[in-house]
Amino acid sequence: MLTQQQLQARVEYISREFFHLPFTDRAVYNNRLRRAAGRFLPATMSLDFSVKLFAGYTEAQRDDVIKHELTHYHLYRMHRGYKHGDADFKALLARVGGTRFAPAPPASDHEFYYVYQCQRCGQKYPRRRRFNTNRYVCSKCRGHLVGVAVVSAAQLQAEGLIG
């Protein structure tokens, strides 16, 4: 885990090395950022990063997220297309090798899911809470669901059933 000061230094370093441009604003941890790994705020020109997600990332994953946010930042400063759908954004992100989406943090072995399965098409539904199978049907084929297992989050992630 990087300290706040190390985070700022890392963002400045990646900006110089990969974008050949200085990062002259603030990179800060944001406690409230939980689903997104990072965020660029044009109003303040600051880059926010999720404490929770960064704590579980490898160095390479952190760098990827930093590159993604710096891509928004530098394109905005250059008055170019800085949003996800813009061609400028896609091209610069590919050039610096950043990720399109935030990497999923490693799943915990202590976290469990209830796995339900459709009896007709076999589709699996991992859920954090139990639910009444009489009240829900498969969203693909409307078949009947049954509870089949309690599985750790790490195993579900390995099978690609959760992000």
Chain positions contacting Zn ion, by CB under 5 A = 118, 120-121, 123, 138, 140-141, 143
The whole-angstrom separation of Cα 51 and Cα 47 is 13
Rg (the chain; Cα; Å): 20
CB of 7 to Zn ion, least distance (A): 17
Task: Say if residues 143 and 133 touch (Cβ distance below 8 Å).
Answer: no
Candidates 17, 69, 111, 159; catalytic one: 69
Nearer to Zn ion, 103 or 112 (CB): 103
Amino acid letter, residue 60: A
Nearer to Zn ion, 123 or 152 (CB): 123
69 catalytic? Reply is: yes
Nearer to Zn ion, 108 or 122 (CB): 122
Which H or E run contains 8? helix 4-14
CB of 110 to Zn ion, least distance (A): 30
Task: Just list the catalytic residues.
Answer: 69
